[in-house]
Amino acid sequence: MITKSHKVAHSYARAFFELAQETKVLAKTQNDVNQLKALLEQSPEFKQFINNPIIPVLRQHEILKALFHGKVHASTLSFLLFLSEHKRLSRLERICSFFEKLYLQAEGILKIKITSVCAMEESQVKSISEKFKKIYAKDIEPQQAIDKGLLGGFKVQVQDVIYDCSVKTQLENFRRNVLMV
């Protein structure tokens, strides 16, 4: 279900994305968005700040300038101030997510999540990435995750699809097939 809040965040993300494209600062802006996403994940205080409707706009501007002046591109800071002025700062997390989706789509990049029982060697990650690059005809941006419960093998998540090559799943399938006989 798409909510009004969802639509608002998407509209702001698209406008910010198009501005970054037009002013030829898309890569820098994406880097800023990644920094904002990391800050939102790592700082409960920042998350409280952007979601606090009691803080006056002028005080929000002071805080935003103190936090980000010289650390993000000027257009990113201006956008944050704009969101504050229009009481949309609470939508920042969702705006960042939509912005990243637009960026990846425009750049032909596909994020995949490779989950294994232990950290994979770079050559293994590269090999898996190359296979998915051929399948999806996009540049692949792999992320690794660890799941000790897999026993061996790996899983690859591409958006909403999971390719399961884990030993655990193969054993479960074998057990189901043997019990069915």
- Structural domain 4-105, CATH architecture: Orthogonal Bundle (1.10)
pLDDT tier, 1 (very low <50, low <70, confident <90, very high otherwise): low
Q: What is the pTM of this model?
A: 0.79
| pLDDT of 2 over the 60 cut | no
Q: How far apart are CA 153 and CA 162, in angstroms?
A: 14
Per DSSP, 140 falls in state E
Mean pLDDT of the residues in the chain:
92
pLDDT in tens, 61-116: 999 999 999 999 999 999 999 999 999 999 999 999 999 999 999 999 999 999 99
Region 127-147 average pLDDT: 94
Per-domain residue ranges of the chain? 4-105, 109-180
Q: How far apart are CA 111 and CA 97, in angstroms?
A: 13
